[in-house]
């Protein structure tokens, strides 16, 4: 377990993660302003900010963000639910596992981005294709981690549940699912990363709107500030979804010595 920071440093703890990014941006701006970094290669942070303001005012940026977020979430929900359900069923039913697991493993090993040409043929360049790809990419990490989580629930606890008269439903709700939750949440975090990655690639290659499209379009007109803005947006979106997953961990895994606040104050005796 990580130790806590020493006295004087501790006061600045919330600021610590931001020191490095701020420093990088400052140096970047300095290099750009001094002319060491050519504007043709890399726009300065101020130029990027200007682009952000311009695109926000024109409505292009909010629209692209909304479209991309919608695709990401829809794909995530579909793929995540399918993966979760398969994981759940295969985790407890041997027969289901025998029937489906090896097929799922085979499909899993196909790089889903390799299917982009096929997806364009099937769905065109609308929302459906992207949602399909995101769902496909998200499905496997959720599936694998749910399955693994359920498998790794202490059999002793399940036995205890049976002795204490828990029915099948109660056993799922009170023992199996909570026991699998840490692993499921790891899958969720991983899947969120894959979600953005898949979407960006899909939008960059074939699209008529969204952040990926905005970046590709800007490249055509050599608007490097917009391209860099899009790249920074990816970083922020990724960070946002990671924060979300962390929030879930903190509220669902309160009992876990690694995540909970209560037990952080009172370590195990």
User: Which residues sit at the interface with other proteins, rule CB under 8 A?
Assistant: 154, 156-157, 159-166, 174-175, 178-179, 181, 253-257, 260, 262-263, 266-269
**Residue whose CB is less far from other proteins, 246 or 256:** 256
**Residue whose CB is less far from other proteins, 208 or 256:** 256
**Residue whose CB is less far from other proteins, 8 or 156:** 156
DSSP at 114: G
d(CA 164, CA 40): 71
Contacts of 169 (CB under 8 A, 6+ apart): none
CB of 245 to other proteins, least distance (A): 18
**Residue whose CB is less far from other proteins, 2 or 262:** 262
d(CA 88, CA 146): 6
Cα 242 vs. chain centroid, distance in angstroms? 6
- The angle formed by the CA atoms of residues 160, 164 and 166, to the nearest 5 degrees, is 95
d(CA 182, CA 255): 11
**Residue whose CB is less far from other proteins, 122 or 255:** 255
CB of 171 to other proteins, least distance (A): 11
CB of 253 to other proteins, least distance (A): 8
CB of 160 to other proteins, least distance (A): 4
**Residue whose CB is less far from other proteins, 181 or 200:** 181
DSSP at 173: I
CB of 77 to other proteins, least distance (A): 25
DSSP at 59: T
CB of 189 to other proteins, least distance (A): 19
- Nearest in space to 153 (alpha carbons), one of 174, 123, 169, 137: 174
Cα 73 vs. chain centroid, distance in angstroms? 10
CA distances from 171 to 151, 166, 236, 254 (A): 14, 6, 40, 20
């Amino acid at each position: 377990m990580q130790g806590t920071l020493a006295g004087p440093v501790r006061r600045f703890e919330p600021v610590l993660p931001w020191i490095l990014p701020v420093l990088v941006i400052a140096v970047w701006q300095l290099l750009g302003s001094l002319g060491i970094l050519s504007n043709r290669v890399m726009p300065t942070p101020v130029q990027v900010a200007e682009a952000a303001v311009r695109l926000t005012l024109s409505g292009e940026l909010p629209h692209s963000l909304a479209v991309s977020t919608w695709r990401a979430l829809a794909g995530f929900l579909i793929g995540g639910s399918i993966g979760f359900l398969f994981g759940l069923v295969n985790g407890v039913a041997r027969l289901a596992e025998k029937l489906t697991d090896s097929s799922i493993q085979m499909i899993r090993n196909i790089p889903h981005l390799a299917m982009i040409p096929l997806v364009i043929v099937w769905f065109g360049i609308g929302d459906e294709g992207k949602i399909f790809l995101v769902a496909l990419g998200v499905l496997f990490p959720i599936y694998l981690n749910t399955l693994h989580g359920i498998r790794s629930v202490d059999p002793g606890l399940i036995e205890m549940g049976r002795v204490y008269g828990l029915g099948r439903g109660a056993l799922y709700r009170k023992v199996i699912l909570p026991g699998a939750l840490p692993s499921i949440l790891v899958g969720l975090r991983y899947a969120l990363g894959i979600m953005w990655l898949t979407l960006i690639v899909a939008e960059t290659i074939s699209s008529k709107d969204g952040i990926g499209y905005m970046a590709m379009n800007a490249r055509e007109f050599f608007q490097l500030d917009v391209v860099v803005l899009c790249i920074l947006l990816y970083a922020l979106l990724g960070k946002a979804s990671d924060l979300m997953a962390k929030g879930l961990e903190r509220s669902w895994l309160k009992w876990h010595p690694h995540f909970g606040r209560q037990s952080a104050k009172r370590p195990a005796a």
